[in-house]
Amino acid sequence: MNEDALDELAGVLVSATRVAVLTGAGISAESGIPTFRGAQGLWKRFRAEELATPEAFDRDPRLVWEWYDWRRRLIAEAVPNEGHKTLAVWQKAFPSFSLITQNIDGLHGLAGSADPIELHGNIWKTRCPFEGTVRENREVPLSELPPRCPDCGRLLRPHVVWFGESLDSRILDEAFRRCSSCQVLFVVGTSAVVHPAAALPQAAAEAGAVIVEVNPEPTPLSRTADFCFREPSGRMLSRLDRRLEARRRSSARRTR
């Protein structure tokens, strides 16, 4: 890691009041959560695009729910890592802090982050397509496949965004608002190529924000980001947090 860059970024953050973070699959991979494209066993015979669609659910809701039940069991074994925990600490450390995630695993909430903006939904929630009711359900394994709405008795669906579906416009608008008003935007563990989330760093940059990429691999964002850190997010964010705390303590001593 470039220690000079780490120090420079800590200097930027010590005076920042509006910080936003966009996270992707990379931060959860450090907790041992595989991506669905790495599915093994039974699910090798299917592509995600054949299961995570409204058409697949209409055709075979039990098959879709068996896949999600399998994914829920994998995710249930995972725990938040240092990256998740650091971001939960930052929510209290900055006057204005926004956490936006493309992940559906709920690990940010388990780490202590309150009300993250979940662009793609949450695998631990179900939704009644007929009533629109959203409920949390952490039952593992599910006792009923497919599960049914306790109110109307119709089939529930996972509260996630499927291929071919649009993101909730209210959630997406709020994400753009937060990115357009922040001073610093962290882009953590995401390739920043899937739209519309890929446009969030651009919106922040156009508004004058400092863009910080944290990703072991280069991405299209790397060419324009102000800072690029090529290491796992858990290690990098915790190191940056310690450096930031040291800066704050030093500043406090000078003002006494």
Find, among 169, 188, 217, the residue nearest to 90 by Cα. 188
DSSP per residue, 47-83: -HHHHSSHHHHHH-HHHHHHHHHHHHHHHHT----HH
Tokens of 237: 């964010």
120 catalytic residue (yes or no): yes
Distance CA 198, CA 219 (A): 11
Q: CB within 8 A of 103, min separation 6: which ones?
A: 23, 24, 25, 27, 28, 118, 120
Q: Which helix (H) or strand (E) holds 126?
A: strand 121-127
Tokens of 189: 């563990």
Distance CA 198, CA 190 (A): 9
Find, among 247, 235, 229, 232, the residue nearest to 3 by Cα. 229
Catalytic residue among 108, 120, 159, 195: 120
Find, among 160, 75, 66, the residue nearest to 122 by Cα. 160
Q: What are phi and psi of 155, to 5 degrees?
A: -65, 135
Give me the active site residues, please: 120
